[in-house]
Amino acid sequence: MKQVDLNCDMGEGFGVYHTGSDSELMKYITSANIACGFHAGDAATIRRTVKLALEHGVAIGAHPGLPDLAGFGRRVIDITPEEAYDMTVYQLGAVQAFTKSEGGTVRHVKPHGALYNMAARSRQLADAIAEAVYRVDPSLLLFGLAGSELILAGKAIGLHTINEVFADRTYESDGSLTPREIAGAVIVDAGRAAAQAVKMIKEGEVQTRQQSGFILKADTVCVHGDTPGALEHVQRLREALEAEGIAVKKAGNGA
């Protein structure tokens, strides 16, 4: 039986500002990527989201991003590999501390937004992020865009890597995600998003924006918590996976 992890970006509010429906989404996912304070999140939000994940038995992951609250971490910033390393260690440490204080364990790391896409293309940035994760805890899982430089860097240093695919995003012919500024880059139709995810898991292929097929591996599927209708998306996705006999389990050993 095929199986897949289902992850969602969470804790992406800040102070009195809240995004998404974390408490509802948490019922359907197996892994939560918790914002660490740079692109979103703050101390209270991290703690609250960690507790919510533990209550639902959801795997906890750190979701480090670029220091860009105003742009939600989705604007490219020219950083050095050393800066990428420091940002990753710093943000991972924040989520680890809150998770430990609540009696839990951080299981994975997944970069956010522009940092994620930059590391997917740049081996230097990917190596820096992978090294940061490895030095903090070599047992951590590293989530990255399927087949990307981040996956290769994680494997090279000895991390257990998890190939990630996206239900609610379109793809380019080189396997990268379509830039958000291009119309249609975010799939808002829940049925279409679910169908794309099922195809990637069962067939190992996605139809690109250029109408070509791109081969990839799907270990975990992401639904963005800030996508319009995110709750419907994750509900439809769970229904579609169950209908196809695909088990939804935590990434890694399936525990």
pLDDT of residue 226: 79
pLDDT of residue 255: 41
Q: How is residue 195 written in tokens?
A: 């169908």
Per the structure, the count of domains in the chain is 1
| CATH code: domain of residue 158 | 3.20.20.370
Q: Is 141 in a helix, a strand, or coil?
A: strand
199 within some domain: yes
Q: List strand residue ranges (DSSP E) for the chain, in order.
A: 3-10, 31-35, 59-63, 106-109, 141-145, 160-166, 205-207, 213-215, 220-223, 247-248
25 within some domain: yes
234, 223 Cβ separation under 8 angstroms:
yes
Q: How is residue 140 written in tokens?
A: 């951590």
- Dmax over Cα atoms in the chain, in whole Å? 48
254 within some domain: no
- pLDDT per residue as tens, the chain (255 positions): 899 999 999 999 898 888 778 999 999 999 999 999 999 999 999 999 999 999 999 999 999 999 999 999 999 999 999 999 999 999 999 999 999 999 999 999 999 999 999 999 999 999 999 999 999 999 999 999 999 999 999 999 999 999 999 999 999 999 999 999 999 999 999 999 999 999 999 999 999 999 999 999 999 999 888 777 889 999 999 999 999 999 999 998 644
Residue 93: exposure state from Cβ atoms within 10 A (0-12, 13-18, ≥19): middle
188 within some domain: yes
- Domain of residue 74 covers 3-248
164 within some domain: yes
> How far is Cα 24 from Cα 89, in angstroms, rounded to an integer?
30
> How far is Cα 116 from Cα 128, in angstroms, rounded to an integer?
12
Question: DSSP secondary structure string, 213-242?
Answer: EEE---SEEEE-TTSTTHHHHHHHHHHHHH
19 within some domain: yes
Q: How is residue 237 written in tokens?
A: 């996705």
The alpha carbon dihedral of 25, 31, 35, 39 has a sign of: negative
Taking the alpha carbons at both ends of the chain, their separation in whole angstroms is: 15
210 within some domain: yes
Residue 29: exposure state from Cβ atoms within 10 A (0-12, 13-18, ≥19): buried
Q: Within 10 Å of residue 201's Cβ, how many Cβ atoms?
A: 20
pTM of the entire structure? 0.96
185 within some domain: yes
> How far is Cα 241 from Cα 74, in angstroms, rounded to an integer?
29
